[in-house]
Structure 1
Amino acid sequence: MDAQYAATPGTQILVVEDSPTQAMLLEHLLEKNGYEVVVASSGKQALEVLESFRPALIISDIVMPEMDGFEMSKAVKGDPRLRDIPVILLTALSDPEDVIRGMEARVDFYLTKPYDEDFLLSKVASIISRPVERTKANGCQSMKINLWGKIYEVSVIPELSLSLLASTYENTIQINRELHREIAERKRIEEELRVTVKRLKEMESIIEISPAVAFVRKAEDGWPIEFVSDNVLQFDYESEDLLSGNIKYFDIIHPEDRDSVIEEVERSLKDKDLEEFSREYRILTGYGETRWVDDRTFVRRNSKGIVTHYQGIILDVTHRRDEI
């Protein structure tokens, strides 16, 4: 727990997110910092939860089935029992009209995705400790807004709109800072990968006489292969085919074992203290045959603790497994 962002005991937050993975990550982050979290998978379900639950804050995605984040916020702000609950919407802010829709839905704050964990926690702590003043926010005003040559007429509460626009500006500054940090970090990671691959290539003559196959896998969808030793030929794959990106590491895992391997990898994403893991599972050879492998993987992270790639070896243990 980060003491700087620690919650007051008993502070409750409603997270509205249709992606189970994203909901789990956000729930874990908030609970780790002392908040009590309830999760709803859609705007409609969130309103059902709010019939008997009054959180200190609502954090919601925008794009969801049945009822999106804007519609949910509008419903919350239109209910006298709920309208004082601050609403944060998580958005990519890729469409300027999102700001207009947010004003109409009386959203309190925007946070951009992917969010910086410290920035999110600081905003949550700030909003909960100093809720938006509502006493003067009773009357709506009609406003005409010119955005990119298009005129929008919206009905807004001025005080709330000011807070939303301020948070949008704050997020723009944060995005710019993150972009500069990301560029510097990406250069560092690319250099680290270059050095890793160079060292592995230098050791390739040693690796090739070893039964173990060396891999460097990117922490991206499907786990694209950055490096693989030439002795991957024992599994009927050419290293060039794997490095081309046409075949990703996820593709060679046996379909019945993919969920368990994904579960292990997701654990490494959540547990920043996890530096390595090992697991035995089945893979498919280039000819579709099944082999058992012992995977010993080291987790590589950037300076913020985010996983960037996986480096390790797999060893064919089919004969041992067959003897069991």
Structure 2
Amino acid sequence: MPAHKNKQPKPSILITGAAGALAQQVIQRLRETCNLVAVDARVRVELGDQIPSYCIDFNKRTFEDLFRRYQFDTVIHMGRIRSSQLSRMRRYNANVLGTQKLLDLSHKYGIRRVVVLSTYHVYGAMAYNPALIDESAPLKSAGLSADLIDSVELENLASIYLWRYPELNISVLRPCNIVGPSVRNTIAKLLASPLAPVMAGFSPMMQFIHIDDMADAIVLASQKPTRGIFNVAPNDWVAYQRALELCGCTRVPIPSVPPALPRLILRTIGLKRFPAYLMDFFKYPVVIDGRAFENEYGFTPKRSLKEIFRFYRDNKKPL
């Protein structure tokens, strides 16, 4: 029998949030071995002739047309909108209602693997957090900040579908701070800046994962249909002020009270968008336990903290 007769068809994968730096890394890793379709609710991404790309609101009827047309095997959902990007109502529509639509369509069209990217922020930053937070810990952030309600609801939705429709093989990934080249979240901007604010009297332990390692983690998760919720973080952490020092940042102490004062000072030093909920993450530690994901997927980050901080020390940019 000719060899080509035994070739398996390439899996068909829908990737949401395709405009993000992390999604771009995942696409690069999968483009040779999978048939990819890229979607982003904000902008259409140009990915060449081999990868169809769309700018579509998940709540529009045209989104379902993609499921009919491409017959996806897997969905990698990285389309969560951060609090600094849209108004609260538009963010809720995208993150919660859009995710519900995505999961409904995944069930309707027989998707066999769904990976949902969440964030460790759902645990909430509090003075009494345990030293290592595992996946069974309560999600306290919704009670601490209205800006994180939609992130927690997105996770709650994914958990409901995880148990209601086991055939979807849903995994939810909760990464620590994702940093590295091309990452534009708040913590990455601070590490890249010559000046970085610190809360006077506070220097919480933090974890950082390189964008390359996080992309590897998502690809691993997409290829092994283990259902569940997983923290993704290295078994290493560092005090925030020490991280800034290693990145070559000049630390700017700001008082933590009254609440309006830090935001005023941050605007003064040129950081125009600073989500209010992050104030607590610069005061209290949120160190997550990534061993469950490490054990299940054989995952070990390749990029050390030393390498991450060297990149930011060598690539300083004004905010």
TM range (shorter): 0.3 to 0.5
Point out which structure has higher relative CO (alpha carbons under 8 A, 6+ apart): 2
Q: Which is richer in strand?
A: 1
TM-score by length of 1: 0.39
